[in-house]
Structures are given as C-alpha cells and as structure tokens.
Amino acid sequence: MSTLIVIDQPPYGSWAGREALDMAFSLAAFDQPVSLLFCGAGVNWLRKGQEPGTIRQKSVEKNLAAAPIFGVEALLADGGDCNRYGLESEQLLDGVTLVQADSQLFTKYSHTAFAG
Amino acid sequence: MQDSTPFSFTLVITGAPYSSQAPQSALSFAAAAIRAGHRVDRVFLYGDGVQLASALASPPSDEPHWPREWSTFLEEHGIPGVACIASALRRGLVDEGEQKRYELPASNLLAPFTIAGLGEWVEGRMASSRTVYFHGSD
C-alpha cells in the first residue's frame, strides 16, 4: 500500500507543506512506502540555496535532505510547474525526479494525501 | 446501493472551524456514512484542524458550536477523536499532561478528544478501508 504525499503549497508563508512533510516522514518511520510529489508553488521547496533566516524560518532544504534517511522512496517534481517557476534542473536539489503530475501518476499509488 | 459492503473510515480534518468549512463538512459526512451503515473508526485533527478540539471556543449563541457538536457526535457513537500533538502544541491546544510538562497556565482540550502523535493517523489509514481528508481553503 504505497502513498503519495502531494505538496502543492510554497515552502514559506504557509505551514501546510511542512505538516505534509511530517506526514511523509511519519509513514516512512512506520515502514510504510511513501513518495513525495511537489507541484504548483510547491516546486519551490526544491530550490537549492534557500536562505529563509531573514524571515526567521528554518530552511526546508535541510528537512528534505533527511527524506532518504527516513526511507522516503522518491522525491518527484512536476516538470511543467518547475518551468513555470523558472527552476532549471541544475537549481534543483539532488535526487529529484521530474515527472508529469497527471492521473496516470496518481493511479500508481493506493493512497494520496494533499497538503493544506 | 449497488454494493452493500460497509466501509470503515478514518477522517482527517486539517481546516479550523469558523475559518474553514472543513469540520462542518466532515461532520455531515460522518453522520451520513453512519446512517448508510458504514463505520467511522477515528477522526484525526491535523494542522489548523486541531482548533476543533478547543474547550474555549465560544461562538455567538446563534451560530453552530462545531467543537461541541463534534464532541457530542464522537461520544454518541464511541468514535475516538485525536488531535496531533505537534500541531496542537504549536497552536496553543493542550491537555492536562502537556500543561504540566510545559508549565502552562491552563489546559483547554475538549473531551472526548485526546492528544497523540501522527502514528495514530498512520494506524488509522492502515486499519480503515478509506481515509478521507477535509482541508481548509488554503
């Protein structure tokens, strides 16, 4: 029973994405197969070199780096949304797979949960 | 009904009462599911949804009191209602145990809600045949 957690919220300015990330880590901690999909404004999570110190927030980059350690199977990003936000592949964090977030992708998972 | 096999549901509410319709929609859904012969295994409050478990909510008397309506519903049907501890502590929702631990001036968790970790959600989604999410407007 594999789960797709969809983060469609930006990394700062909304707490929903962070709480969705905790859901993914929690599933992985209980040995449940889980992957993360970033789409819409959520692709900004994957930007390299984030410096949110000036807005007194913790960088989500560090949190995301823990994903493979927790056992999250894949970090997926919608290619079209990356283009829309001007994210070239060299600006993306390591280990991200570009996909097309469509119904075909969703059918591969038995359970899908959205942030927010 | 084409298929008479009853479902069991875990409901996840992430939208707060009075700033979103999530708790209200979830309550209508839960009541309809039970009327139709299905089961609700548990209700998990996450993110802003934890506001539903505040014992201090005091809406004007001509508005529905969603925390109280949910509380009555859970007790009537013996359904566990769980608020995520990380979401709850950030948002100022604590039971007596957390009040003592953090030396806070009061506790405000509405019975029969309890506070527990995300493991409750993981368990719910493994045990129930369906998990349904009720989000806020963000």
Q: What is the pLDDT of residues B41-71, one digit of tens each?
A: 999 999 999 999 999 999 999 999 999 999 9
pLDDT in tens, A20-33: 999 999 999 999 99
Residue numbers of B annotated as active site: 84
Task: Kindly identify which residue of chain A lies nearest to residue B138, measuring between CA atoms.
Answer: A116
Residue ranges in chain B whose pLDDT is less than 50: none
Give chain A's largest Cα–Cα span. 41
From B122, B125, B133, residue closest to A114, measured CB to CB: B133
The pLDDT of residue A1 is 67
Chain B neighbors of A32, CB-CB under 8 A: 122, 126
Query: What is the CB neighbour count within 10 angstroms for residue B98?
Result: 16
The pLDDT of residue B51 is 98
Residue of A71, A64, A73 lying closest to A43 (CA atoms): A64
Inter-chain residue contact B47 with A22, CB threshold 8 Å:
no
The pLDDT of residue B5 is 87
Residue of B78, B88, B86, B83 lying closest to B120 (CA atoms): B83
The pLDDT of residue B138 is 56
The residue type found at A41 is: A
Dihedral angle sign, alpha carbons of residues A23, A25, A30, A31: positive
Residues of A with CB under 8 A from a CB of B: 1, 3, 9, 14-16, 19, 22-23, 26-27, 30, 32, 111, 113-114, 116
Q: What is the mean pLDDT of chain A?
A: 93
pTM, to two decimals: 0.93
Chain A neighbors of B49, CB-CB under 8 A: none
